[in-house]
Structure 1
Amino acid sequence: MNEAPAARLISAGQKSLRPLSRIAASVAVLAVLAPILVVIFSWGSDQTEIWQHLIATQLSSLLRNTLVLLMGVGLCVSVLGISLAWLVVMCDFPGRAKFEWLLMLPMAVPAYVLAFVVLGLFDFSGPLQSFLSRELGLPLIDVRHEAVVVLVLSLVLYPYVYMLARSAFLSQSSDTIEAARSLGSGAWGAFFRVALPMARPAIIAGVSLALMETLADFGTVAVFNYDTFTTAIYKAWFGFFSLQAAAQLASLLLLFVALTLFAEKRLRGRRRYVQGSQLHHHFRHPLTGLRAWAVTAYCLLVLSVAFFLPVLQMLIWAFEVGAAQLDARFGALLWHSLSLALQASVLTVAIATLLAFSRWRAGPRQRAFFDLAQLGYALPGSVLAVGVVISFSRIEQQLLFPLQAWLGMEARSVLVGTVLALLAAYWIRFLAVASGPIDASLLRIRPSIPDAARTLGARPLEVLWRIYLPMLRPGLLTAAILVFVDVIKEMPATLLLRPYGWDTLAVRIYEMTSEGEWQRAALPALTIVLLGLVPVIISIKRTLK
């Protein structure tokens, strides 16, 4: 008897705030698209002289270096990630259970941190080469080589492939592998013909993430003086003082990003691999003798070079400099990093929550539109910084400055060169990072629960406050932590957009490594690594479940 009034009450409750939330979500999507569009349309500005100089001196090397990095990192992360995932899933060797989660720790080390540690240890003036040259008379080796740049990036980025490949291998039934073996395939044949093709979508996704991070990297290539499009954007902006030339270079980098995403989609293809039997993984091949210890040594070598060695060396350097560096300057750097990360995480989580609710019961076309907000994560920080500055400059020139003149106020910039520009870049860049945990938590809420609250007379805001937010709390907290740490590690956007006097830990590392002051960069880097362990630990707990 009461079903019709109850249905009308539920419908009214759902629709009362939906238009406002949809409008706000649409504005957020347009805000993400704005930097992309202004970078793409930057070619309307004539920068002939700068481009003539770039073509004559740098452009060919920029293209070559970027392609070398992409191919080298793609190959290395594939080899490292797939081999390590296969060994810990399918083989039994000393330390396997520990390595299964320890191999994720390099995710906490930013690539630019490992880069300056490698140079500090192995450069001409480093302790290792100095000792070998002095005691053994060995010739000096130049470690500022593109192969070393590829290796540094690969050691930090292989966990993307490792985690996804490990999950894919774990989801494969041992019966499938054993069936292939019983039909005449050897161990390698079963791997290449059965296990690897079934894990291919996950592996391609992991490699794509690693390549996106490679394209976005600025700190590592800057430490090695290895010119790529990210360093060229910085030089065009602050060397040639041409924001439009920087935007045009950014559009070329954006083209590389688009090609990477297109290649990922094509490589995944339309093929699907389905398990025909019940999923259960119950068998690991026991390794004994020399083979077992060789596998253990391999895992330990990768982990030591990618995590233990840089952390230990930074501790040594930090103690060498002593407590003198724990001064007011370091306190200001830490405060700027933490305050920016806190503001960005709150803002990003709020926008991600709004988008999650807008997508939740939207139609296919609306959902596809709202999904465009995820594109921000594909934007390198340098590209995003250029797009944000140009967008904010046009808003000021066409709207705010005339408004200030009409009000009789002195024209003053309130967007460009302020914390607002940094926060805009952060939430656009890391919105996809926050959306994952929030979307997952929202999907676990049974619609009958908020519907029941509405039938009992709860208003939409009351349902949001008393039902949704408490049930979303774990996802919201995880999203905030992930964004918080990513903002602290972010270098290029912070370096390009920070207001005067707003240096952060990442900016301090760039300044010190630019001058070869490895010891003075150790404490800020160690602080970032320790903070970066938080999301890694969260990922470890999830993957072990």
Structure 2
Amino acid sequence: MTKNKHHFNLFTSLSGVLTLLACLPVIALVLTAIQGNSDIFGHLIQYVLPPTLVDTSILLFGVGLLTILIGTGSAWLVTAYQFRGRAFLDWALLLPLAIPTYIIAYSYIDILHPIGPVQSFLAANFGWESQPAWFPNIRSVWGCIFLLSFVLYPYVYLSTRAMFLMQSASLIEVARSLGLNPNQVFFRVAIPLARPAIAVGASLALMETINDIGATEFLGVKTLTLSIYSTWTNQSDLASAAQIAIFMLIIITLLVVIERLGRRKQRYMNSAQRSRLMPAQQLSGTKAGLCLILGLITISIGFLIPFIHLLVESYKRFKYAGFSDYLLQASINTLFLATVATVITIAIGFFIVSAARFSQITWFSRIASLGYAIPGTVLAIGLMLSLGKIDHAVADFLEFKLGIHTGLLFLGTTFTLIYAYSVRFLAIAIGGIESGYNRIHGVFDDAAQNLGRNQFLILKEVHLPLLRPAIISAALLIFVDCMKELPATLLLRPLNMETLATQLYAEASRGTYEDGAIAALLIILVGLIPVILLARMSKVLNK
């Protein structure tokens, strides 16, 4: 008993330390913001925050509204109706998830550029000499809303489609027997029941929106995230950047509360619906064709058009200059960082969740999971502040006590970047491993203990083999997210070290779009991995 208690204390203590390390950036951010220069903060309140808050609010409202319309409409289309091509749309509507927000902005800027393929075609065939006034200006807040919505709507589509599938057929049949037409059934029955799922999907889409830095900068939208980045990079004012970040954390907290409330209600709705699933209505002729066209338009805007454009441009670039050395080095750096961060994140997540399994204390895992809700820019600023103080303290101690000059040990190294990735995506590891643990009954633990196994042997011989599928799935998602992460990588990467994401950002900033096409295409191809997994899960759900 004493031995088990010792393991219990060790697990709990180490889990608490790991959770504290995950929260360290936020703690440093809040303390620095409180101690910041009041004069600079007054300047921020008067001149910086008002326009950025306006643009951020417009962007969040527009993306939230449009993703709800597209995601909910698409989910109802492939759930409530049966038509030719429905099976294809069912999984193809997930494809925009493979494209990061900054890549879709990068692609459409190149496509709609005055010397891009669209305007060049119109000029050659219709005699255009300059861009007409009616031609859409993609470099605007409205253009940003449009593009982000067509790449983020799958968050709403996934959660809402799952809810539609779980809605009882008897409810739909009762509504139809009362004389409601299909539109009335959708608005008066299906939508009210799906509100929690819609809230969950929309809040996730909004978190991705507020985390974005590449798309908003490319499209000329001044958001809070971009203000934090520019305040640090252009003015080297870390305290002011921390103060702006606090406003972002307030917004993020509200989104997290909405998402958690939605999930709580969604669980209640799921438990309340145990009867047969809603049947799909058979369509044919014009109506079936219209449904297919609507789905194809959504997929084309969010995935096919940018993907084909990048494929063509990559081929041209590869045929002309081959695979350049700097792009090869960026690929190697990306794979190295993503692999190391994935292994570390999975290991930490496994340890925290396993500690909760043995001790029944779950709040460590809940706190450690909050990093996913923190934008990469905010997380990077928090790490600069916290690790910077640790760096100076260690350097001073070694210099004055031992006479060793070390300089900075953490900042400007790959350690800091991997730390950021681990904190940012720890929630994926914890969530995936927790779902795996939910399938392992406690009787396995009891049987192993009766056979004389301690907790470490139970982890090695029982839990790890059974958790292997959940760990692999979580690792794939973390790996892809690490490859796509841009804001934290821009701020924390070592000097002269580029990843595919930062290489693409640099090329787009210089206006050399053809050089960034290969990097963008590689990111998308890797991003297709979780989409394939989600599509397979969707097929299981349909069955």
Q: TM-score, normalised by structure 1?
A: 0.93
Q: Note the C-alpha offset of 1:442.
A: 1.1
Name the counterpart of 1:18.
8
Name the counterpart of 1:380.
375
Name the counterpart of 1:347.
344
Name the counterpart of 2:490.
495
Matched, 1:443 2:438: yes
- Aligned mates of 1:18, 1:267 — CA distance in 2: 34
Name the counterpart of 1:139.
132
Paired residue secondary structure (1:322): helix
Matched, 1:109 2:70: no
Matched, 1:300 2:290: no
- Aligned mates of 2:150, 2:29 — CA distance in 1: 32
Name the counterpart of 1:329.
326
Of 274, 279, 295, the match for 1:283: 279
Q: TM-score, normalised by structure 2?
A: 0.93
Deviations 1:54-113 (A, max 9, x none): 455443220111001110010011001101101101101220011101111110111111
After the TM superposition, list the runs of 4 or more consecutive aligned residues in structure 1 that deviate by more than 3 angstroms. 11-16, 44-58, 262-278
Q: Note the C-alpha offset of 1:327.
A: 2.6
Paired residue secondary structure (1:144): coil
Name the counterpart of 1:125.
115
- 8 Å CA contact 1:77, 1:161 repeated in 2: yes
Name the counterpart of 1:319.
315
- Aligned mates of 2:278, 2:194 — CA distance in 1: 18
Where in structure 2 are the equivalents of 1:388-399 lying within 5 Å? 388-399=383-394
- 8 Å CA contact 2:7, 2:455 repeated in 1: yes
Name the counterpart of 2:74.
84
Change in 2 beyond 3 A, CA 1:171/1:42: same
* 2:172 partner amino acid: I
Q: Note the C-alpha offset of 1:456.
A: 2.1
Name the counterpart of 1:35.
25
Change in 2 beyond 3 A, CA 1:466/1:263: closer
* 2:352 partner amino acid: L
Of 160, 175, 182, the match for 1:187: 182
- Aligned mates of 1:332, 1:501 — CA distance in 2: 11
- 8 Å CA contact 1:165, 1:199 repeated in 2: yes
Stretches of structure 2 that go unaligned for 5 or more consecutive residues are none
- 8 Å CA contact 1:401, 1:411 repeated in 2: no
- 8 Å CA contact 2:68, 2:153 repeated in 1: yes
Change in 2 beyond 3 A, CA 1:12/1:269: closer
Name the counterpart of 1:5.
none
- Aligned mates of 2:441, 2:415 — CA distance in 1: 37
Change in 2 beyond 3 A, CA 1:68/1:16: same
Paired residue secondary structure (2:329): helix
Q: Percent identity?
A: 36
Change in 2 beyond 3 A, CA 1:41/1:459: closer
Change in 2 beyond 3 A, CA 1:54/1:282: closer
Deviations 1:447-505 (A, max 9, x none): 22232223223343322222111111111111111111100000000000001122100
- Aligned mates of 1:147, 1:380 — CA distance in 2: 22
Q: Note the C-alpha offset of 1:330.
A: 1.5
- 8 Å CA contact 2:489, 2:502 repeated in 1: yes
* 1:338 partner amino acid: L
- 8 Å CA contact 1:81, 1:159 repeated in 2: yes
- Aligned mates of 2:269, 2:447 — CA distance in 1: 40
Stretches of structure 1 that go unaligned for 5 or more consecutive residues are 1-10
- Aligned mates of 1:59, 1:458 — CA distance in 2: 58
Matched, 1:516 2:511: yes
- 8 Å CA contact 1:133, 1:139 repeated in 2: no
Name the counterpart of 1:237.
232
Change in 2 beyond 3 A, CA 1:362/1:18: closer
Name the counterpart of 1:8.
none
Q: Note the C-alpha offset of 1:273.
A: 4.1
Paired residue secondary structure (1:132): helix
CA-atom RMSD in angstroms? 2.1
- Aligned mates of 1:110, 1:448 — CA distance in 2: 43
Deviations 1:110-145 (A, max 9, x none): 111111111111122322123324543471533212
- Aligned mates of 1:206, 1:120 — CA distance in 2: 30
Name the counterpart of 1:7.
none
* 1:430 partner amino acid: F
Matched, 1:540 2:535: yes
Where in structure 2 are the equivalents of 1:369-518 lying within 5 Å? 369-518=364-513
Name the counterpart of 1:163.
158
Q: Note the C-alpha offset of 1:397.
A: 2.4
- Aligned mates of 1:275, 1:176 — CA distance in 2: 15
- 8 Å CA contact 1:200, 1:268 repeated in 2: no
Q: Note the C-alpha offset of 1:26.
A: 0.6
- Aligned mates of 1:341, 1:265 — CA distance in 2: 29
- 8 Å CA contact 2:166, 2:273 repeated in 1: no
- 8 Å CA contact 1:107, 1:536 repeated in 2: yes
* 2:287 partner amino acid: R
* 2:106 partner amino acid: F
Q: Note the C-alpha offset of 1:275.
A: 7.3
- Aligned mates of 2:225, 2:212 — CA distance in 1: 7
- 8 Å CA contact 1:257, 1:379 repeated in 2: yes
Name the counterpart of 2:525.
530
Q: Note the C-alpha offset of 1:24.
A: 1.2
- Aligned mates of 2:236, 2:293 — CA distance in 1: 50
- Aligned mates of 1:70, 1:454 — CA distance in 2: 52
- Aligned mates of 1:269, 1:166 — CA distance in 2: 17
